[in-house]
Structure 1
Amino acid sequence: MIAPFASGIQSDPPIQQLELSVVLPVYNEQENLRPLADELSIVLDRAYDHWEVLFVDDGSTDRSFEELKRIHDDEPRFKIIRFRGNFGQSAALDAGLDYASGEVVVPMDSDGQNDPADIPKLVEKLEEGYDCVSGWRKQRDDPLMKRVSSRLASGLRKAFLGTDLHDYGCTLKALRRPAAKDIHLDGEMHRYIPALLSWRGYQIAEVEVNHRPRKNGETKYSWQRLPKGFLDLVNVWFWQKFSGRPLHIFGGLGVLSVGIGMLSGVYSVWLKILSDANLSETALPLFAVFMIMIGVQFFISGILADIGIKGYQHAKDEEPYRIDKILK
């Protein structure tokens, strides 16, 4: 056997795999960043050996970015992604999930209302075999109007999505790396991360977490988010139910519409023959033709949507399934 060649050059030490990445979208939170960074350092140093924190500055107009640079200078494990403008919380979370390197990814708010001390609890629950553990703010410290609107939105999400979660709006979650990399967020989709993952076959759980009052700055939530959130809810519901078979919903509506049109037409003929009714005095024939035309349009829309989704999957080289494991 030939002995290995010995040289005086030492090989580089193996790169340590990051255990945890914390992702925080930031928009005008300059007064909250330093206290939150100090809390995160204490919690993460106590629980994990290798970790990182990614702040995603979503086009802040205050001095948040300058404060983040000082935090990074003090502790390089606090990393910064800065957007050119304000693209929204979903876009900021999406960028953070894309750039996170940890085996577990924990998104949370940067306003200080999510408690960093809850992170180990979420990760511990994750180790029971779940892919995503979502926080449940059972005791919320929010204004009454915000609590009422959140409860209404939560009821709508349960009705549409069917996932048995109490709190969809809590940003604080723990996700395994494959789950974090398997979602794409836009619009207001960050509220539906558990539903999106559940739809793709990932295992979801929920854990009670602490919710603290905001100490500095102003809330970014307003009534204008409600209609946007509802439209995204309908979008998620459609993708959950019919993304692989859009012809089923459009075709079903087409059958219903054509059926109503044909019944209206038959009834018009029956009135003319048996009652000698003057059909020009009623809109029934016009209604029958209109419903049949609408039904045909639904069929065409379903076929085009089916072609479009199949083309989308082929273009992205994406399969309509997710594999958990293969035993050989």
Structure 2
Amino acid sequence: MDSLTASDVQDDVHPEQIQLSVVLPVYNEKGNLRPLAEELREVLESEYDHWEALFVDDGSTDGSYGVLRELHEEDDRIKVIRFRGNFGQSPALDAGLDYALGEVVVTMDSDGQNDPADIPRLVDKLEEGYDCVSGWRSDRDDPLGKRISSRFASGLRQAFLGTELHDYGCTLKAYRRPAAKDMDLTGEMHRYIPALLSWHGYRIAEVEVNHRPRTAGETKYSWQRLPKGFLDLINVWFWQKFSGRPLHVFGGLGILSMGIGSLAGLYAAWLKLTASANLSETALPLFAVFMVMIGVQFFLSGILADISIKGYQHAKNEEPYRVRDVLDHDR
């Protein structure tokens, strides 16, 4: 699998052959994999004729890959993507979404805390006309410190992003295929998937799900993730608000700064002409020049950002819009 790309795999199997794909990032979860795979198989076999489970081994060092290889040999519907190193949860989810062949894609954690029995409920909610259904762990079975930090982070996300969800951090989500393929996850961006999809015009819903205690292995979450997540939050917020018009924000700041500098300069000149003030004893002229220079820098940054974003969209062959339906004379 290391030498294959997602497009190679999708050329071998037509996506319509798979009803449901389940994507599970794995990092040192050896003790949880077999029980979880058995639960998944039981749920999926009872609900769907054609399904697949994609475990993405994110550089595990505890023997997780050996267990995954055994599971694949026992059932080829259980597929394994193995990374060359530890790249993080967002890249692991991104790879799984790229390789997934199903018309519906579900993501979930591999630590056993997400309940596979909730999958049909999320898929049923999709059928009501949504593009993404996110799990809400209303009764979380986590340590107090983790619950507090998650609550704080969720409040920040709501304040910055405006997406009305109770639980941004739940990996258990269901997507229609277009939404699943319309994401590029890096850093800690998996926490902001609903906001990213909502920004692109997809319809988002939330369903309460079961949250179970961890029975094996150790949690991978720690306070060190908070500053990284906050920086990604600022990044998502900026892209959501200004990615199509960066000159508006940088240019606006530039005009404001140059305006303040110009007023300070005029005031300094007025003091010199009317009161014969000794401007060498005040920082007013320096402040005026500094603010004008900062304003010019902001304005130039806006122009460069605008050029960069247009180049980014051109390089990725990406349009600044998403089409939902097309009606023409042939339909």
Question: In 2, Cα distance between the equivalents of 1:63 and 1:314?
Answer: 42
Match of 2:32 in 1: 32
**Distance (whole Å) between structure 1 residues aligned to residue 143 and residue 270 of structure 2:** 61
CA offset at residue 144 of structure 1?
A: 0.9
Question: In structure 1, how many angstroms separate the alpha carbons of the residues matched to 2:105 and 2:221?
Answer: 24
Task: Tell me what 1:68 maps to.
Answer: 68
1-structure distance, mates of 2:75, 2:229: 36
* Residue 256 of structure 2 corresponds to residue 240 of structure 1: no
Distance 1:15 1:272, change over 3 A: closer
Q: In the TM superposition, what are the counterparts of 1:74-223 in structure 2 within 5 Å?
A: 74-223=74-223
Structure 2 SS opposite 1:109: coil
User: 1:3 aligns to what?
Assistant: none
Q: Which residue of 2 aligns with 1:277?
A: 277
Query: Per-residue CA shift, 1:297-328, capped at 9, x if unaligned?
Result: 01101001111111121222211111100123
TM-score, normalised to structure 2's length? 0.93
Residues 127-171 of structure 1: CA distance to partner in whole angstroms, max 9, x if unpaired? 000000000111111111111111111111111111111111000
1:241-272 alpha-carbon deviations (Å, 9 max, x no partner): 11111100100110111111112112212222
What's 1:22 paired with? Answer: 22
Cross-structure match for 1:259: 259
* Contact 1:16–1:50 (Cα < 8 Å) also in 2: no
Point out the structure with max Rg over C-alpha: 1
Letter in 2 for 1:312: Y
Compute the displacement of 1:237 (Å): 0.6
- Equivalenced residue count is 315
Counterpart residue number, 1:8 = none
For the 8 Å contact 2:15–2:101, the answer to whether it is kept is no
* Equivalent runs, 1:299-318 vs 2, <5 Å: 299-318=299-318
Task: Give unmatched runs, 5+ long, in structure 1.
Answer: 1-13
Look up the match of 1:58. 58
Correspondences of 1:314-325 after superposition (within 5 Å): 314-325=314-325
Q: Residues 298 and 181 of structure 1: is their aligned pair in 2 closer, same or farther, counting only changes over 3 Å?
A: same
Aligned residues: CA RMSD: 1.2
Deviation, structure 1 residue 16: 6.3
- Larger CA deviation: 316-325 vs 290-299: 316-325
Could you tell me how far apart the structure 1 residues matched to 2:271 and 2:208 are?
Answer: 64
In the other structure, the counterpart of 1:287 is: 287
What CA distance in whole angstroms lies between the structure 1 residues aligned with 2:260 and 2:164? 37
TM (norm. structure 1) is 0.94
Bigger shift: 262-271 or 75-84? 262-271
Tell me if the contact between 2:258 and 2:294 (Cα under 8 Å) persists in the aligned partners.
yes
The amino acid of 2:250's aligned partner reads F
Q: Distance in 1 between matches of 2:185 and 2:313?
A: 17
SS in 2 for 1:65: helix
- In structure 2, distance between residues paired with 1:147 and 1:71: 33
Mind listing any 5+ residue stretches in structure 2 that lack a counterpart?
1-13
- Residues in 2 aligned to 1:313 and 1:149: alpha-carbon distance in whole angstroms: 35
Please report how far the alpha carbon of residue 15 of structure 1 lies from its aligned counterpart in structure 2 after TM superposition. Answer: 9.1
Q: Which amino acid aligns with 2:44?
A: L
Identity of aligned residues (%): 78
How far, CA to CA, are the matches of 2:206 and 2:258 in structure 1? 45
2:15, 2:62 → 1: CA distance? 37
* Residue deviations 1:79-119 (CA, integer Å, cap 9, x gap): 00000000000000000000000000001000000010000
